[in-house]
Structure 1
Amino acid sequence: MTTENAYRYGITVPLNAPLGEHPRLVRELVAAGYTDIWSAEVDGLDGFTPLTVAALADPSVRLGTAIVSPYTRGPATLAMSAAALAELAPGRFQLGVGSASQLIVESWNAAEFDRPYHRVRDTVRFLRAAFTGEKVTEQYETFSVRGFRLTRVPQEPPQILVAALREGMLKLAGREGDGAIVNWLSPDDVRTVVPYVHAGGPGKEIVARIFVCPFDDPVLVRSIGRRMITSYLNVPVYAEFHRWLGRGEILKPMWDAWAAGDRKKALELVPDELVDDLVVHGTPERCRARIQEYVDAGVTVPVVAVIDPRPDADPLEAALSLAPRH
């Protein structure tokens, strides 16, 4: 699957193992061909700590947050957290920011999920200013900062990537960010979203988190996939994303059943074809070929999110089976 010297291939952390074991696991993943470690911040570990562990475990691995939300950290705190990782791993850290969702922001973090496009845009602008080391006093549209100066300016400020779904945020990612972070989409969908990012200029990163279950058991994997799809695609931002992609008709029966409170019926109404579109599964060889389809469609950094249904499985077994073949 090698394309060129700049080829990158990532995996999502934290892995299903205690964080104290991650240094060994990271070293094994890098030895197997993974170049990138990208965090996921939802309801487990935060987005920065696992990357700090990874940065200390291996001096070459690239790091990224996918993503941290400007609603759950103040602007200055977000800048300081990013600067710390950029200092620890100069030139190897990319900061991915995104609005997250109403559930994460309002239900879990006691903040108001208001005007996400504008909040992300303003945060990117603030971070750009903060990373220069100059004092920032600015009235942004969604917040204000008065007299903040980042006193430990990283030698190499991190690139800023924007988690994006639909047209507006995708264009923002290309125009004011260094690229976009995408997920819950097929290789064909990548071809839909990439032009909006590239409209902001050439050389933009397209980081895709790809859900991968490397097991040749379609019945089991589709059962898992249906649960994941109903959990995610009923969240308003993801529902609108898939309407925009043209899946409104295929998803409407599931959405209606979910809204009526019939969770069992909603699961049954997720078509096999949709699971196969959005969740990579099959033999490891088949999975690697499918991941390559994302790269061929325009993804610059595929980031595997391993799904292993075995409760006591070795945390690296499935990941290593998906490692790139050089």
Structure 2
Amino acid sequence: MDHPPQRYGMTLPFSAPLADHPRIARDLAAAGYTDIWSCEVDGLDGFTPLTLAATGAPDAHLGTAIVSPFTRGPAVLAMTAAALAELAPGRFHLGIGSASRPIVHNWNATAFELPYERVRDTVRFLRSALAGERVAEQYETFAIDGFRLARPPQTPPPIYLAALREGMLRLAGREADGVILNWLSADDVKKVVPYVHEGGSGKEVVGRIFVCPTDDADAARTVCRRMITSYLNVPGYANYQRWLGRSEQLQPMWDAWAAGDRRRALAAVPDEVVDDLIVHGSPEECRAAIRRYVDNGVTVPVVMFVDPGLGTDPLDDALALAPTRG
């Protein structure tokens, strides 16, 4: 990569014990990673890995991509964000998103209702709460009766929204400081980003880019097909891919999945869809592919490491992808 992006991120945690993560964060920062982001699905929570990373990489930007306002109460979310903002002043970025019905309803016993409105209301609440204001407000999806942070952060963190289609993309541009994108190709970025910029220029565009660093294309596609069938059969992601124009390519997979034939669903994912949505290849090829996302409008590329299952060390693979290696 001749001209690496100004920001370049990696997603933690890795499979290593959490106690090793301050060292891992330090090694990533030394290799040129400016950002360390977390995710929250069914493994570890989104904040603990960042707390450890902050101790190992005291100059790195930190961010959640994402935590859901359905799985934490508004006040708890504000307090947790305030703690990270105090630990990493000016460097913590709070990424929130609705998540999905399986995560919210099936796993966290919470009704997944009015996701757009819940995200919007949470952004408005957090703006006030993180500024140290007393909040007594009836929002559309919840009410707050007299909450005030006892330790508001000196520097309130910027708030980014995970967004798929037009409505949430426009909300991110209008009311948040940036957007978090995933499950899209570099070319898709050109379709998606203009909706964000309708709310004004200068918004950060965080791209969570799935990267499987191996020259073994068959191994990469095997692993990535499992990811695609797991994610893109969730209705929100399926509708997103339809909107992006992949209906014809993915309909056989959706049909097989709906019929309960998981093996046929895996086989029905075309190579070109895998290659579009998940970066794989040599470190040089992966860096070049990440660069295409940046060229098309992503301002903060964040690698989401996909283990190819070949017994390699994730940290070694991550260091090989670092911008300083290009």
Task: Give the TM-score category using the shorter length.
Answer: over 0.9
**What residue number does 1:140 align with?**
139
**What residue number does 2:219 align with?**
220
Inter-partner Cα distance in structure 2 for 1:311 and 1:116: 39
Structure 2: which amino acid aligns with 1:83?
A
Inter-partner Cα distance in structure 2 for 1:102 and 1:193: 23
**What residue number does 2:172 align with?**
173
Which TM-score applies when normalising by structure 2?
Answer: 0.98
Q: Which moved more, 1:306-315 or 1:238-247?
A: 306-315
**What residue number does 1:264 align with?**
263
User: For structure 2, which runs of at least 5 residues remain unmatched after alignment?
Assistant: none
SS of 2:240's equivalent in the other structure is: helix
**What residue number does 2:308 align with?**
309
Native 8 Å contact 1:210 1:303 kept in 2: yes
Native 8 Å contact 1:36 1:63 kept in 2: yes
Residues 303 and 177 (structure 1 numbering): CA distance in 2 closer, same or farther, change over 3 Å?
Answer: same
Native 8 Å contact 1:12 1:38 kept in 2: yes
User: Once the 2 structures are TM-superposed, how far is the Cα of residue 102 of structure 1 from its aligned partner?
Assistant: 0.4
SS of 1:8's equivalent in the other structure is: coil
- For residues 20-59 of structure 1, what are the structure 2 equivalents within 5 Å? 20-59=19-58
- For residues 60-209 of structure 1, what are the structure 2 equivalents within 5 Å? 60-209=59-208
Q: Are 1:229 and 2:215 matched, yes or no?
A: no
Inter-partner Cα distance in structure 2 for 1:239 and 1:156: 38
User: Once the 2 structures are TM-superposed, how far is the Cα of residue 307 of structure 1 from its aligned partner?
Assistant: 1.4
User: Once the 2 structures are TM-superposed, how far is the Cα of residue 311 of structure 1 from its aligned partner?
Assistant: 6.5
Native 8 Å contact 2:214 2:308 kept in 1: no
User: Once the 2 structures are TM-superposed, how far is the Cα of residue 314 of structure 1 from its aligned partner?
Assistant: 2.3
Native 8 Å contact 1:124 1:177 kept in 2: yes
User: Once the 2 structures are TM-superposed, how far is the Cα of residue 39 of structure 1 from its aligned partner?
Assistant: 0.3
Inter-partner Cα distance in structure 2 for 1:229 and 1:87: 37
Native 8 Å contact 2:22 2:53 kept in 1: yes
Residues 3 and 150 (structure 1 numbering): CA distance in 2 closer, same or farther, change over 3 Å?
Answer: farther
**What residue number does 1:245 align with?**
244
SS of 2:33's equivalent in the other structure is: coil
Which TM-score applies when normalising by structure 1?
Answer: 0.98
Count the aligned residue pairs.
325
Percent sequence identity is: 69
Native 8 Å contact 1:308 1:318 kept in 2: no
Inter-partner Cα distance in structure 1 for 2:309 and 2:216: 13
Q: Which moved more, 1:219-228 or 1:268-277?
A: 219-228
- Show CA shifts across 1:31-69 (max 9, x none): 000010000100111000100111111210100000000
User: Once the 2 structures are TM-superposed, how far is the Cα of residue 250 of structure 1 from its aligned partner?
Assistant: 1.1
Structure 2: which amino acid aligns with 1:18?
P
Structure 2: which amino acid aligns with 1:175?
R
User: Once the 2 structures are TM-superposed, how far is the Cα of residue 306 of structure 1 from its aligned partner?
Assistant: 1.2
Native 8 Å contact 2:213 2:308 kept in 1: no
Structure 2: which amino acid aligns with 1:76?
A
**What residue number does 1:277 align with?**
276
